[in-house]
Amino acid sequence: MAKRITIALLTFFIFFIAKPLYAGERPHSLGISFKYAYHDYKETNEPEWFKSNETGFLPGIQITYNYEGIKNPLYLRLLFEYEENKTDYDGGIQDVATQTVTPMQAKTNNKFNTWEGNIGFTFKPWTKEQPVNITVYTGIGYRYWNRGLGGQAPYSEEYTWKYIPFGVRAAYSINEKWKGGFEIAAWFIYDAEIRVNFSEIDPNFNNPIAKLGNRMGWKIEVPIIYQFSDRWSLNFVPSYENYSFGESEFFPITYGGASTSLVAKEPDSRTNIYSIRLGIKFHF
């Protein structure tokens, strides 16, 4: 019941209280974009023979809903992203039973899911006399990464983390058709953890879960928008993202439910992502 009341109040707020103050403008938009990203993942603070690096291109999609008030300062955004592809793995693989590390080059199967919700305030609402708007926002986000490692004994790792974004968006209307701008945001990461699915090697092994060190990430985007009709626009968005995690504590490995002398840990890591998005938006 409480969930239904919350949804009803939010719907009422968006479509009645947060409506534009004059007719003829379209504050709502639904967008879908094709994303093509280059992922550069590196483990740090480990011996060179033990570090692993992963690089490669991941295609994906992004789906968004935006509310941008005209003379109303409210800003809302809901975002979902999905990426999937293989990347090149270069590093070492640890044998769970013997704890030995063997150099390995292979392909890694990667799947990324991202959910983010934002709410913000526009200091300079868009008008014909004022072609610049500046918005600050915050919100909450969640990201999931399934990393399928190859080799003679393949298994997967699942990374999850939550984050609170603090961002600034600025947009400039060049003319009636073209708009440009930039967006920069810091991500304050929390509840980062890893689940290592050793049972995929042998069902007698456990799937330990360990907390990762929480660190700050950030992104910058430079959107270019072509409004080719009253309701439709094309969007081209170069983007850069960066995030990192501190190493985990050692976590125990069990076999058949019994304790063993085997332990493992997740090392420090950092990830750079360079991407472009090309998409279309419907304005209403």
Predicted TM-score (pTM) above 0.75: yes
pLDDT at 47 over 70: no
Within a domain: residue 276? yes
Output the domain CATH number for residue 157: 2.40.128.100
**16: phi then psi, degrees, rounded to nearest 5:** -120, -55
| Token duo for residue 100 | 């030995």
Distance CA 47, CA 55 (A): 19
**Each residue of 29-46: b (16+ CB within 10 Å) or e?**
bebebebebebebbbeeb
Q: Return the sign of the alpha-carbon dihedral for residues 122, 15, 28, 77.
A: positive
Model pLDDT for residues 177-232, shown as the tens digit of each residue = 999 999 999 999 999 999 999 999 999 999 999 999 999 999 999 999 999 998 99
73 vs 25, which has greater pLDDT?
A: 73
Within a domain: residue 18? no
Closest to 169 measured CA to CA, from 58, 79, 80: 79
Q: What is the mean pLDDT of residues 161-169?
A: 97
Domain count of the chain?
A: 1
Within a domain: residue 201? yes
Q: Give Dmax (Cα) for the chain.
A: 72
Within a domain: residue 17? no
Q: Contact, 128 vs 168, CB < 8 A?
A: no
Range of the domain at 91: 27-283
Within a domain: residue 141? yes
Within a domain: residue 14? no
Model pLDDT for residues 111-158, shown as the tens digit of each residue = 999 999 999 998 865 556 667 889 999 999 999 999 998 877 789 999
Q: What is the mean pLDDT of the chain?
A: 87
Within a domain: residue 174? yes
Q: Contact, 75 vs 118, CB < 8 A?
A: yes
Within a domain: residue 12? no
Residue 239 CA, distance from chain mean position: 12
